[in-house]
Amino acid sequence: MGNVPTLQIPDGWQSRVPAGWDWSDLWVAIEKGKHKIAHEIVQKAIDANINPKTILDDGLFPGFNLQGDRFSEQIIFIPEMLITARAMKTGLALIRPLLAAAAEKPVGTFIIGTVLGDMHDIGQTIVTIMLENAGFRVINLGTDTHPDKFIDAAKREKADLVGFSALLSTTIYYQKVTIEEFAKAGLRSKVKILVGGAPTSQQWADEIGADGWGKDAMLAVQLAKRLVKEPREAWE
Amino acid sequence: MAELRPRERFARAIRREKVDRVPTLYRFKKESKEKVARIFGIHGTGTGMKHDPSLELRLGNDAIMYQIGINAEFSHHPIAIGETWYSDFKVGYGKSGLQGMTEEQHKEFEKTQEFWGPAKVVPENFPKHHPITSMEDLKNYTWPDPANPRLLDPIKEICKKWQDDYFIMVDLSSTLIEAAYAHLVGTQNFFLYIYDEPELIAGVLDGLTEYYTALGKNVAALGVDLIRVGDDIGSQQGMMFDPDSWRELAKPRFAYMFEQFRKVNKDVYLKFHSCGDYSPIMQDEVDLGVNLTGLMQPVGGNRDQAGMKKKFGDKIAMIGGLDVQRLLPRGQVEEVREGVLNVMKNLAAGGGYIFSPAHYILADVPVQNIFAMLEAVKDYGVYGKYPLN
């Protein structure tokens, strides 16, 4: 706590848009979670032939990152983060086909779920939303997920990262068990594994051989961005 | 100081008066309760609305807590695999830990696990159908009967049987915000509706306030010693939503509820509980006239128990504080003893404190740690002796 996040305006954004174009309404729309306004502005930007990657980086991310940082600092809370994420998602939905057509690849593929025996999903839902908005392709397996389901999904989707959520001290053991199952299946070096949830800690993550611990949703996303760049054994 | 009767000890601690030793309240989930009861040869191990206090009293509890809120029934109700069971609130519940398995497969699966080992899946009931997601739903919704004898009769029995000696607490969890998001509306819906459908949120919270006010008044009329409201608004690192939103949505409704309870019984004590870290609204609890408050999750966002005691200890009594997320399930015996010692130093010094683990003792807590805790409380929880001299 203690930092007051500010809007990070992208350097030289004016050079990437037509003369007279202004992103500030979109920054505010994302910040305030006005998804209808966000939709309108992104559509206008597309109609004005602005590069979709520019719309994402210069138009959508500043407001989203501002709220993410505020969320981390507990200046805003779940409801505000949810409406911002929804506005972000509205904009992303419009530009995603254009990004794909321009051969912009997702940052990585992330399999996420709450471990076997645990039905809690508030935390992992928020992490999913943040990861999607940060450019990851996320496959959410929901709650009460058997280790085999994680393994099947990782194989099928050629996952880069896998994340196990758990809220209870009785269920975090399944983070350990699931990591062991990945090792038994010979997949441990193909994916980076992240863990999170109320009773977890960095010490717990180290103890069970996870690659990282997400203390909160924003830190989990930062961790994912870092880990996805680290070397892994390739999928065939 | 002469030895006090349990109910006197508990009440005095709530009033922040002198006591002989720190009163205690241990709470178990079914699996851990059966495990410990077996050692003592105790057969009555009912939990939830079938609560049998024999074991807890044997371990030294000074109070009996009986639950009748929206949580009480579902969390202990037997639900078969694949079944959706509907409570009186018309919320549908299912069972976890069994994804895609038949009953037979699950039994086989359980056998492969070490009996009390770390990897045992303890199936939990969970809400999966939420009855109110639109104004139309709310309009057509019928609230349960707050005078249902099924809820109130067991309390009469408990008072008759135990109140001479023990302090009687009745729990109305979950009472307001949590009852709305976790049960009636659904979590993601609830948080979005705060912005999208404020009238629906207000309507649901008004309905809950009316129901629990009536229920709590009926409970107060039975002469119980304390009414507990439980409302999870904390996450591990901080509050789920803005403390100012809480002050707008929850605080006035709790104020109304408490005022009504006290109209029926002016002496009834009030306790507030939330999981997680809800330290930003501690002063609001004081404003509401709450007598006894739980504490933040000891390994969560705000870990400064001594600081909270210093700031609020002369305004409100406190309960809880021993870590159930890491220390009790995974600590060594000596670490558990040290944990109890620290909690006593931080919270019990000067009085106004009731010892309790931060939450239920769950199936993953080894028996030796439970005994280490009980012994340490006997060693470190006596006023006039180290560390409370």
pLDDT band at B118 (very low <50, low <70, confident <90, very high): very low
Cα dihedral sign, A194-A199-A202-A204: negative
Beta strands in chain B (DSSP E): 63-67, 85-86, 92-95, 125-129, 167-171, 226-230, 269-273, 292-293, 317-319, 353-354
Contacts of B126 (CB under 8 A, 6+ apart): A119, B93, B94, B95, B96
B171 touching chain A per CB within 8 A: no
Distance of CA B306 to the CA centre of its chain: 22
- Residue-wise pLDDT for B167-176, tens only, equals 999 999 999 9
What is the predicted pLDDT for the residue at B111?
56
| Best A37, A70, A77 residue to mutate vs chain B (most B CBs within 10 Å) | A77
ipTM for the assembly: 0.89
Separation of alpha carbons B284 and B296, rounded Å: 15
Mean pLDDT of chain B: 92
Global pTM reads: 0.92
CB contact under 8 A, A170 and B123: no
Kindly identify which residue of chain B lies nearest to residue A32, measuring between CA atoms: B195
Query: pLDDT per residue over A110-121, tens digit each?
Result: 999 999 888 888
Residues 274-303 of B with CB under 8 A from A: 276, 297, 299-301
User: How confident is the model over B355-366, as pLDDT tens digits?
Assistant: 999 999 988 899
Angle between helices B198-221 and B149-162 (to 10 degrees): 40
In a mutational test of the B interface, the residue from A90, A170, A178, A207 whose CB has the highest number of chain B CBs within 10 Å is A170
- Tell which B residues from 337 to 366 touch A, by Cβ distance under 8 Å: 362-364
Whether residue B58 contacts residue B40, with contact meaning beta carbons closer than 8 Å, is answered with yes
CA angle B27, B32, B37 (to 5 degrees): 90
DSSP B48: G
Dump pLDDT digits (tens) for B34-59.
Answer: 889 999 999 999 988 899 999 999 99
CB pairs under 8 A between A and B: 101
With an 8 Å Cβ cutoff, is B97 touching chain A? yes
Mark which residues 68-127 of A lie under 8 Å from B by CB.
74, 76-80, 82-83, 86, 116-119, 121-123, 125
